[in-house]
Structure 1
Amino acid sequence: MIESSPLLTVEQLSLGFHGQAPVVEDISFHIHKGETLALVGESGSGKSISALTIPGLLPSSARIHRGKICFDQDTLLEVSPSQHEAPFAIQNDISLQRRLQGIRGNRIGIIFQEPMTSLNPLHSIGKQIAEIIQLHRPVSGQALTDEVIQRLEEVGIEQASERINALPHQLSGGQRQRVMIAMAIANNPELLIADEPTTALDTHIQRQILDLIQSLQQKYQLAVLLITHDLNIVRDYAQRVCVMQHGRIIEQGNTEQIFTAPEQDYTHMLIHSAPEGEPVPLQDQAKTLLTVDNLNVWYPVRKGILKRIHGYIKAVTAASFQLKQGECIGFLGASGSGKTSLGMAILRLIRSEGSIVFDNQPLHQLSGKALRGIRKDLQVVLQDPFGSLSPRMTVGDIIAEGLRVHSEQSAEDIEQAVCDVMAEVGLDSDLRHRYPHEFSGGQRQRISIARALILKPKLIVLDEPTSALDKSIQKQVVALLKSLQEKHQISYILITHDPATAEAMCHQTIRLDHR
């Protein structure tokens, strides 16, 4: 039962960065005990920075222009606008910092977006959970160890007593997110801020994580502030929704009302932003471009001083399929099911056993110079566009790199080819002298596509090309890929965990299961 008095109230909050215009303007919302409020918007809408103002976790350059934040009827922050005073910086108020330190991790728990970045790679997960408990409560020894194990079991970590000493990299993405949740609830908070808790997780793991948060909410009567760019995942988990665009809340209401009768066109677009449509039509006489027969990708498990092989992790076993020119095949499955391993094996980037025949060439028998000669016809677009683009190279140099390796064209011809392919993927060629960090996520993925496309390949492996993007940007990238496929008759191997993307692009699909 939702109480009449809100646990958290944010009133007319406006903030920005030093010397710049506000990125959040005049937003107001409230959350009751036991309620879930979803703060929804695309990347750059201001939702995360707004939420992180509550526990005072703003970057040093952030400045609050105005606003009031009350937690459990206690005023945490109140800034009134004044033309004679500079905007307020939380870091400069020592007494406020001390108050917030007593609340953070104690009465307010936070689940951050990327657990691999948020967790210390050098400390065990048990030590990191114990640290937050000891920061707020005098618990030590066996009692502390028992409580850490209890928290790990509570969030669904199997064999918690053994996993307590595991390092973050030894866990899967879903397990790391469960550890982040265990840290967030370690001191029985009243408010849980979940900042994109399911981004980059496959659909099945997403559902598990959201179900876990919901069960913990019901158990402890938590108020939950759920921050996400995916409006469709909140339908089953939030009572109310606030939609943010360009730093403002443009619409808010109960969840059913937002979904059945949205008032704003932007809200309607977010609801219907999943990729849609049919795969591009195949030509009648399309030839077979790729034949894979009985392909195995097994990783050896080595033990002992001599590192002898004691067994294998069988990522892919006996995979067989054919792919025609202009066709798209989808590899679907949960994280760890072997999708990427199969794709990388076809590209001959990892060791495999079996037959791979591409354009009448037996790739499994080629090596060295012979294999390099075929590389320009086999390209890949990787999952994380920011991680796969060199931060030290301009976009023009990144796109041109393949041509410089595989062709003998003049500098002028390469420059013109870069401009042409940038225009083809919807980028202004005048931006070719900029660096990757100066582009949005969607633009960086277009750069990755241009880098692959400039060599005019016959086959492109698309490794989760949209998983790190907003839903609306996903839709744009899928439409771009389909138009390029139809225009150039490129074949695609689409690696994805998203059935909607596969349905919009794939003529055939293979489902992989790591079991």
Structure 2
Amino acid sequence: MLAKPLLAVSNLTLRIGASGKTVVNDVGFSVSPGEIVGIVGESGSGKTLAARAIMGFVPPAVKLVSGSILFDGDEITTMAPKRLRAVRGSKVGMVFQEPMTSLNPSMMIGRQLEEGLALHRDLDAAGRRALILDMLRRVGLSDPEGALHAFPHQFSGGMRQRIMLASVMLLKPALLLADEPTTALDAVVQRDVMELMVDLTKENGTAVLLISHDLGMVARYCSRIVVMNQGDVVEQGAADDILARPQHPYTRKLLAAMPLRGQARELPEAKTPIVAVRDLVVDYPGRQRFFRKSAPKRALHGISLAVQPGEVVAVVGGSGSGKTTLGQSIAGLVKSSGGEILFNGKPIFKSEVAYWDYRLNCQMVFQDPYSSLDPRMSIGELVTEPLRLVPGMGAAEKKARVAEVLAEVGLGNGFAERFPHELSGGQRQRVAIARAVVRRPSFVIADEPVSALDVTVRAQVLELFAELQRKHGFSCLFISHDLGVVEQVADRVVVMQEGRIVEEGSRDQIFDDPKHAYTRKLLSAVPGLESSGDGGVRLFWRLAENETAHTPLS
């Protein structure tokens, strides 16, 4: 006899306003006690809204048109506000995508974790403190006592996500809603957070609804998958069946968008690298605290690397490994403390002419285009701006070049007059790429250019980037924590740990025969997906020794 579902959603329809756009249309799915169910889909598919409706967290403009949400036999949609507040946290918990926005920046961690216990549990202050300290130890904080008196900004992204998970699991909810809990985390931290979440939920018999666009992670942890597209559930079933034998064209499209390794490129030999870095050192100054200043922190310890003409060199590593600092230092955005940078064999700091030539030929694509694009400028103005210093280029030529580049990145027909807030995340990233290539630079630094994009938009942006690179021949330093993306785009891979290069080699050497223990740790952290034919994929581990250590949970 099948267990009664803990959560049963049926015929759920949500609409913007009384007669506006339907954003969730006749959605139905269930979650049984102790089960892990994944909801996947692109941005705008309605997966987050459907999950938030379970807790009554939909925005005021979104109205419930019809449907039922039964949690443990109780109807959520008609529940009185006071009763619903008692359910939130104590019986249904939610881990949000970005803990920095869901943790109060003005409150110490201990006080934030105590709030839920004070509201939902009959414990005195000493009992609450003991539970909080125990949970902080269990989520991997080395100094739980110190964490009680610290603020969210004093922790890394991975640590903040652990604290967010601790705050939810302290109350031992029967259902956990996890909305993109590892999107911005590197491979090792992502695995650690997910394994921690699974361990805590298994221990308490908690069911999990995992919302994600990371199909590899969903395949690894979920027993069933619900696929959503534009507010509709287009397919659902056992995870193995959905991945191996997708029935709906949209599911096939999602799986086809997963990054896959292609043939290694044959690059012509060059006598002189386009960019070379020798013994680069970057120190961040210490913080001033009352009457003394803390010691400076060394972010890069004598880094040396070279990028050949037309080559794509990927830099990978965990959070805090120094990869972004390396990119920004090479771009001239962070001042180095030692070492030198050479462009076409010439030191860029030896003369003003050499430095100017390098800065004009080196462009950067940032991780978050929304914060790097001026919201007051139109798209045309933003893409025109890098052409201001091109000698001898008139207004008509600039306008023609901007139109040509916008067409190359798929933003023709009126996009030049729009503003950044009028574009989607993928379109804004295309604008950021257009700004980088409009000058026809010889070297581009791309810092996590697709980390915030869903699978299909990511595939489109990567294909666009590769096409522009082939067409214009620029070299690229590609910084990423997504090993699947690196496997698709890179000619050579550099692995960084704690400000040092621990291993480098061709893409195939690094992925197929890693030598350094840290490289092996990175590659073993997350599974990959490979084509299984018939539009399906299958889960695999890049290192054979992990096939027994990590078995699918489905």
TM-score (norm 1): 0.92
Q: Which residue of 2 aligns with 1:225?
A: 209
Give RMSD over aligned pairs. 2.0
CA deviations on 1:181-218 (whole Å, 9 max, x unpaired) are 11112221111000010111111111111111110111
Distance in 1 (CA, whole Å) between partners of 2:57 and 2:167 is 17
Following the alignment from structure 2 to structure 1, what is the Cα–Cα distance between the partners of residues 35 and 411? 43
What is the deviation of 1:299?
2.2
Change (3 A) 1:27 1:167: same
User: Which residue identity is paired with 2:95?
Assistant: I
1:370 shift after superposition? 6.1
Distance in 2, Cα, partners of 1:21 & 1:319: 53
Q: Call closer, same or farther: CA 1:126–1:306 in 2, change over 3 Å.
A: closer
Q: Counterpart in 2 of 1:57?
A: 57
1:71 is displaced (CA, Å) by 0.8
Q: Secondary structure at the match of 1:192?
A: strand
Shift in CA distance, 307/328, structure 1 to aligned 2, threshold 3 Å? farther
Relative to structure 1, the CA distance from residue 102 to residue 405 in structure 2 (aligned partners, 3 Å threshold; closer, same or farther) is farther
Alpha-carbon offset, residue 268 of structure 1: 2.5
How do 1:35-50 residues align onto structure 2 when only pairs under 5 Å count?
35-50=35-50
Give the drift of 1:45.
Answer: 0.4
Aligned to 2:504: none
Cα deviation per residue 1:267-298 (whole Å; 9 max; x = unaligned)?
Answer: 22323422232455423557521121111222
Deviation (angstroms), 1:407 = 4.7
Correspondence for 2:283 among 289, 293, 298: 298
Residue equivalent to 1:361: 346
Identity %: 39
Q: Cα–Cα, structure 1 residues 265 and 140, in superposed 2: closer, same or farther, change >3 Å?
A: same
2:429 aligns to what?
Answer: 445
Deviation of 1:437 (Å)? 1.8
Q: By how many angstroms is 1:401 displaced?
A: 1.3
Q: Partners of 2:235 and 2:220 in 1: how far apart?
A: 19
Q: Contact (CA 8 Å) 1:279, 1:504: kept in 2 or not?
A: no
- Once the 2 structures are TM-superposed, how far is the Cα of residue 303 of structure 1 from its aligned partner? 5.5
Specify whether residues 431 and 4 from structure 1 end up closer, same or farther in structure 2 by C-alpha distance, changes over 3 A only: same
Provide the C-alpha distance between the structure 1 equivalents of 2:142 and 2:269, rounded to a whole number of angstroms: 52
Residue 427 of structure 1 corresponds to which residue in structure 2? Answer: 411
Shift of 1:309: 6.0
Alignment of 1:431-510 (within 5 A): 431-510=415-494
Show the 5 A alignment for 1:321-470.
321-352=305-336, 353-366=338-351, 371-407=355-391, 409-470=393-454
**What letter matches 2:9 in structure 1?**
V
Following TM superposition, by how much is the alpha carbon of 1:499 offset from its aligned partner in structure 2, in angstroms? 2.2
Q: 5+ residue gaps in structure 2?
A: 500-554
| Partner Cα separation in structure 2 for residue 474 and residue 134 of structure 1 | 43
Q: Give the conservation status (yes or no) of the 8 Å contact 2:312–2:492.
A: yes
- The CA deviation string for residues 229-262 of structure 1, in whole angstroms up to 9 with x for no partner, is 1222112211111010111111111111112211
The reply to whether residue 25 of structure 1 matches residue 25 of structure 2 is yes
Residues 190/287 of structure 1: CA separation in 2 closer, same or farther (3 Å cut): same
Q: Is the 8 A contact 2:39 2:47 kept in 1?
A: yes
Distance in 1 of aligned mates of 2:418 and 2:124: 53
1:279–1:169 Cα change, 3 Å: farther
CA distance in 2: counterparts of 1:323 and 1:39, whole angstroms: 40
Output the CA distance in 1 between the equivalents of 2:334 and 2:270.
Answer: 33
- Distance of aligned partners of 1:409 and 1:255 in 2 relative to their CA distance in 1, 3 Å threshold: same
Is contact 1:482–1:505 with CA below 8 Å preserved after alignment?
yes
- Give the match's secondary structure for 1:484: helix
Give, in whole Å, the separation in 2 of the partners of 1:506 and 1:422: 25
- Tell me the distance in 2 between the aligned counterparts of 1:465 and 1:371: 26
Partner of 2:268: 283
- The offset of 1:150, in angstroms, is 1.9
1:88-115, CA deviations, whole angstroms, 9 ceiling, x for partnerless residues? Answer: xxxxxxx732221111111110000111
Aligned positions of 1:253-268 closer than 5 A: 253-268=237-252
> In the aligned structure 2, how far is the partner of 1:316 from the partner of 1:366?
24
- Counterpart of 2:3 in structure 1 is 4
Corresponding letter in the other structure for 1:195 = D
CA displacement at 1:413 relative to structure 2: 2.7
Instruction: Report deviation, 1:70.
Output: 0.7
Structure 1 residues 407 and 401 mapped into 2: Cα distance closer, same or farther (>3 Å)? farther
Query: Are 1:290 and 1:358, in contact at CA under 8 Å, matched by a contact in 2?
Result: yes
- TM-aligned CA deviation for residue 159 of structure 1: 1.1
Given that residues 346 and 354 in structure 2 are in contact (C-alpha distance below 8 angstroms), is that contact kept between their aligned partners in structure 1? no
Cα distance between partner residues in 1 of 2:391 and 2:199: 58
Q: Does 1:209 align with 2:193?
A: yes
* TM-score, L = length of structure 2: 0.85
1:145 CA drift (Å): 2.1
Partner SS for 1:54: helix
Q: 1:387 to 1:323 in 2, by over 3 A?
A: same
Instruction: Give how far 1:363 is off.
Output: 2.0
Aligned-partner Cα distance in 1 for 2:270–2:155: 47
Residue 223 of structure 1 deviates from its aligned partner by 0.8
Task: Provide the residue aligned with 2:164 in structure 1.
Answer: 180
| Distance change (3 Å), C-alpha of 1:407 and 1:185 | farther
Residues 280 and 486 in structure 1, CA contact (< 8 A), matched pair in contact too = no
| SS state at 1:235 partner | helix
Amino acid at match of 2:462: V
Shift of the alpha carbon at 1:377?
0.6
1:116 alignment counterpart: 100
Instruction: Determine helix, strand or coil for the equivalent of 2:149.
Output: coil
Query: Which runs of at least 4 in structure 1 moved beyond 6 Å after TM superposition?
Result: none
Point out the more displaced range, 275-284 or 227-236.
Answer: 275-284
The residue matched to 1:99 in structure 2 has which SS?
helix
The residue type equivalent to 1:148 in the other structure is I
How much does 1:138 deviate?
Answer: 4.0
Tell me, what secondary structure is at the counterpart of 2:216? helix
Farther-moved stretch of structure 1 (390-399 vs 66-75): 390-399
Deviation at 1:371, TM superposition (A): 3.3
Give, in angstroms, the shift of residue 341 of structure 1.
Answer: 0.8
- Which 5+ residue runs of structure 1 have no aligned equivalent? 79-94
Point out the more displaced range, 139-148 or 23-32.
139-148
Instruction: Write the letter of the residue equivalent to 2:76.
Output: L
Residues 278 and 504 of structure 1 are in contact (CA less than 8 Å); yes or no, is this contact kept in structure 2?
Answer: no
Number of the residue aligned with 1:84: none
> SS where residue 450 of structure 2 aligns?
coil
Q: Which secondary structure state, in structure 2, belongs to the residue aligned with residue 166 of structure 1?
A: coil
Displacement of 1:481 in angstroms is 1.3
Match of 1:155 in 2: 139
CA drift at 1:373: 4.8
Letter in 2 for 1:385: P
Change (3 A) 1:26 1:292: same
